[in-house]
Structure 1
Amino acid sequence: MSVTVPQTELQPGLSGTRAALRRNFWRGVARVLRRKPSRMVGVAIVALFLLMAAFGPMLYPAHLPRDNNALYAPPSLAHPFGTDFEGTDVLALVVTGARYVILTGLVTAVITVAAGTLLGLLAGFHRGRWDTALMRLTDLQLTIPGLPLLLVLSTVWKFQGPLAMGLVLGLLGWGGIARAVRSQTLSLRERGFIEAARGLGLSTTHIIGRELLPSMAPYIAMNMLIAVTGAIYAQVGLFFLGVLPFDSNNWGVMLNLAVFGGGALTSAAALPYLLAPLLAILLLTLGIVLVVDAMDEIFNPRLREE
């Protein structure tokens, strides 16, 4: 005689198991972060820049004040990084310019990872015609030269904000992730738990969303952080080269004006104006690298055992 357990009795136990798993996971995260103080520093740096991007512009007026009597003023208590060629506080420019840079990086990373993961999963799971068609599309995307295309686009499209900038950079950067996710999917689809799911008649959507995707979540998360770094370098470099119009303040615009407008490479007075955005980029990159290092140990059982 079979005994049917009411769903109301199963649900509390299942919820309790999931809650225990979540608690153990976050305890493991805290333990990994505490193991190396540098990882805590990385988390603090990334959090600081996120807060700067979210709330920094609220600390300053829409139009930053200028002081014609303090052009390229040296660093002081009033101006920790000095002033620029218009007498504007350089620290204020770094803080207010962080939103554009970080928002563009996040939008780029989301689009890059979402498109690459989706196409890689579909190609690797279905194989056959799906795989051939999607990989030919990926190969075509990988052959598109990014910089020349951006140069052409900049003549007809003004990239009015970080969302537009992130969209273009994201659509130009998903090919590598698509190929990597496809390789991971081809490996995982032959595992026992995927075969069991197919044997149970579960839908393709369920297998991809509930079985394959969680298994690759750590890899995808680390690629998202790396994509943020790549997007920051790309957009700052484009603004520095003067390819894009200076419609808003950001770190790339500061570098361009410091080098080509202020002569920072030949004049010591303009040097703080050049070093401030460089320091911001360096610190943010360092923070992301330290967080990726922590994530590698969190999601890699062999590293945790060591």
Structure 2
Amino acid sequence: MTAPTIIPGAPGGTRTTGGARATLRRNFWRGVGRVLRRKPSRMLGVIILAVFAVMGAFGPLFYPAQLPRDNNALYAAPSLIHPFGTDFEGTDVLALVITGARYVLLTGLITAVIAIVLGTGVGLFAGFRRGRWDSLLMRITDMNLAIPGLPLLLVLSTVWKFTSAFEMGLVLGLLGWGGVARSVRAQTLSLRERGFIEAARGLGLSTKHIIGRELLPSMAPFIAMNMLIAVTGAVYAQVGLFFLGVLPFEANNWGVMLNLAVFGGGALTTTAALPYLLAPLLAILLLTLGIVLVVDAMDEIFNPRLREE
């Protein structure tokens, strides 16, 4: 049982630690609700991201592994049956967008998690410890930033087919953590001179405790926003690689659709394949819009000055 903690001004003079934390959580989520309701566009961003999350998680379950084809409806115009028309094989374009979302979104999520975990860990430790550790970790970070991503992926594509979203996310994440590490280190250098960090060091608390319990919670909003931005970057990177034909077309995703629409269907010269081109572009645009609107909301949620305005 948690020991009671004295809270000045609380009814009865005491509350349990668990009760105080529950109250803080309720107040936090109420504040989140107020921020989202203040601008309907922010709620729209949450809805967009929720729709894409559901699409990536459950969308492919509503379609067979081999999507049906209609040889009599090649590049069919948009209709009630095919809202975005069909492709060069008579396959419904909307079905291709939905089934291709899982690979794209899962890759983006894996990339962001790897980049944020590695970048945050390196940046926090280097910025807090300074000295030789800082120099060593920053040289490693500089080497990561100097790695040419496209040539490396060209070489790896001869070995890996990247049919798995984990493989693609792993490579992009290992290539993309350097910028996060630099940003987190800069934030850590600023925070380590604050009074609460000096007090923690004066009490003799361990480095692990100070980083995990003091620095990391203070930087959580910055890290969360960087994670959403990393998802966007990963989506652009993988779609661009598939569009350019750098990676083999072993998996259905939006980049493959763009490549086939432009180089196979001549979407830039004929209107027949234009819906096939616009559907994945619209999906990417909506996903980016949702992330931008949610990041805008997060900035106000975690910034007391903006909440008071």
TM-score, normalising length: structure 2:
0.95
- What's 1:249 paired with? 252
Partner Cα separation in structure 1 for residue 2 and residue 141 of structure 2: 45
Answer yes or no: is 1:113 the counterpart of 2:108: no
More off after superposition, 77-86 vs 190-199: 190-199
What's the secondary structure of 2:157's corresponding residue? helix
Which runs of 5 or more structure 2 residues have no equivalent in the other structure? 6-13
Answer yes or no: is 1:193 the counterpart of 2:188: no
What's the secondary structure of 2:176's corresponding residue? coil
- What's 1:302 paired with? 305
- What's 1:152 paired with? 155
Query: Of 163, 172, 176, which aligns to 2:175?
Result: 172
- What's 1:225 paired with? 228
RMSD: 1.2
Once the two structures are TM-superposed, the CA of residue 160 in structure 1 deviates from its matched residue by 2.6
- What's 2:284 paired with? 281
Partner Cα separation in structure 2 for residue 133 and residue 7 of structure 1: 43
- What's 2:19 paired with? 16
Residue identity matched to 1:108: T
Answer yes or no: is 1:41 the counterpart of 2:36: no
- What's 1:184 paired with? 187
- What's 2:242 paired with? 239
Partner Cα separation in structure 2 for residue 304 and residue 151 of structure 1: 47
Q: Deviations over 1:14-73 (max 9, x none)?
A: 111111110110011000000000001000000000000000000111100001000001
Partner Cα separation in structure 2 for residue 258 and residue 153 of structure 1: 25
Once the two structures are TM-superposed, the CA of residue 156 in structure 1 deviates from its matched residue by 2.3
Partner Cα separation in structure 2 for residue 132 and residue 8 of structure 1: 44
Answer yes or no: is 1:129 the counterpart of 2:129: no
What's the secondary structure of 1:155's corresponding residue? coil
Residue identity matched to 1:99: R
Answer yes or no: is 1:31 the counterpart of 2:34: yes
What's the secondary structure of 1:73's corresponding residue? coil
Partner Cα separation in structure 2 for residue 9 and residue 154 of structure 1: 59
Is contact 2:2–2:18 with CA below 8 Å preserved after alignment? no
Once the two structures are TM-superposed, the CA of residue 196 in structure 1 deviates from its matched residue by 1.4
Partner Cα separation in structure 2 for residue 45 and residue 260 of structure 1: 30
- What's 2:210 paired with? 207
Answer yes or no: is 1:57 the counterpart of 2:68: no
Once the two structures are TM-superposed, the CA of residue 243 in structure 1 deviates from its matched residue by 0.4
Partner Cα separation in structure 2 for residue 303 and residue 147 of structure 1: 40
Q: Deviations over 1:141-175 (max 9, x none)?
A: 11111112111221222223110000000011111
Is contact 2:2–2:16 with CA below 8 Å preserved after alignment? no
Partner Cα separation in structure 1 for residue 273 and residue 4 of structure 2: 70
Partner Cα separation in structure 2 for residue 183 and residue 190 of structure 1: 12
User: Residue 7 and residue 162 in structure 1: after superposition, are their counterparts in 2 closer, same or farther (change >3 A)?
Assistant: closer
Partner Cα separation in structure 2 for residue 159 and residue 270 of structure 1: 27
Query: Of 91, 96, 103, which aligns to 1:93?
Result: 96
More off after superposition, 156-165 vs 24-33: 156-165
Partner Cα separation in structure 1 for residue 201 and residue 282 of structure 2: 52
Equivalenced residues, count: 301
Once the two structures are TM-superposed, the CA of residue 200 in structure 1 deviates from its matched residue by 1.6
- What's 2:85 paired with? 82
The share of aligned pairs that are identical, in percent, is 81
Runs of 4+ in structure 1 displaced over 4 angstroms?
none
Once the two structures are TM-superposed, the CA of residue 12 in structure 1 deviates from its matched residue by 5.6
